[in-house]
A and B are shown apart, each in its own frame.
Chain A
Amino acid sequence: KAGVTQTPRYLIKTRGQQVTLSCSPISGHRSVSWYQQTPGQGLQFLFEYFSETQRNKGNFPGRFSGRQFSNSRSEMNVSTLELGDSALYLCASSSLAGGQDTQYFGPGTRLTVL
């Protein structure tokens, strides 16, 4: 089976812009979770989608949003980018929701906000 893929791998944006990141889960997985990783805050949960529905949301502002399509692919959008949004964004897919089973991570998208 192909692993979790994320596009793009690297992205440079300027403050105020918006960005869309994409994640394709492992075939058959219906859960996709998104995480932000920064040196200061570590790995923080953004949100999880399961069968096109947002199941859980972390403590992030409304500028961070996501969606999941019927083929389980997921996108994450960040609007009005701030310098502090510079981070590695990781998505993970799983066969079960809520962290009940192994999560398989993609390689991440490195976002730099200038």
Chain B
Amino acid sequence: SQQGEEDPQALSIQEGENATMNCSYKTSINNLQWYRQNSGRGLVHLILIRSNEREKHSGRLRVTLDTSKKSSSLLITASRAADTASYFCALNDYKLSFGAGTTVTVRA
């Protein structure tokens, strides 16, 4: 099975700025999902994007998927302190396989 690789590993931004993180993978997928985790707690589902979709939005979140490049990106616009968390991409490969995550810190 494969795992997504998130980039960067860590990100520090000022409140109000945008945050972008990327996820790359190696083989074909059915869907790709993004999750958020606050400080060792449970994961919260953000967006699921299927292989035939190119872009999805949810509030201040925008996810893109480029299956030709085998990559996805998560954009958080107008970041807030509450967005401080770890963000994971998860690949659907008969199960969900998670990457190591991107740790985002939003400074007030």
Bound Cα distance from A107 to B30, whole angstroms:
26
Closest CB in chain B relative to A91 CB, distance in Å = 9
Closest CB in chain B relative to A51 CB, distance in Å = 16
Contact B88 A43 (CB under 8 A): yes
Q: How many residues of A contact B (CB 8 A)?
A: 24
Contact A107 B90 (CB under 8 A): no
Chain B 84-97 interface 0/1 with A at a Cβ cutoff of 8 Å (1 = within): 00001011111111
Contact A102 B45 (CB under 8 A): yes
Contact A106 B42 (CB under 8 A): yes
Contact of A98 with B92 at beta-carbon distance under 8 Å, contacts A42-B100, A42-B101 already known = yes
Bound Cα distance from A41 to B14, whole angstroms:
30
**Interface size class, chain B:** 20 to 34
Closest CB in chain B relative to A65 CB, distance in Å = 17
Q: Is B75 an interface residue (CB 8 A)?
A: no
Q: Which of B31, B40, B96, B100 contacts A33 (CB 8 A)?
A: B96
Q: What residues of A have a CB within 8 angstroms of the CB of B45 in the complex?
A: 102-105
Q: Is A81 an interface residue (CB 8 A)?
A: no
Bound Cα distance from A4 to B48, whole angstroms:
19
Closest CB in chain B relative to A86 CB, distance in Å = 13
Chain B 46-81 interface 0/1 with A at a Cβ cutoff of 8 Å (1 = within): 001000000000000000000000000000000000
Q: Interface residues, chain A, CB within 8 Å of chain B?
A: 4, 33, 35, 42-43, 45, 48, 56, 58, 88, 90, 92, 98-108, 110
Q: Interface residues, chain B, CB within 8 Å of chain A?
A: 1, 30-31, 33, 35, 40-45, 48, 88, 90-101
The 4 closest A-B pairs by CB, nearest first: A43-B98, A99-B92, A99-B96, A105-B43
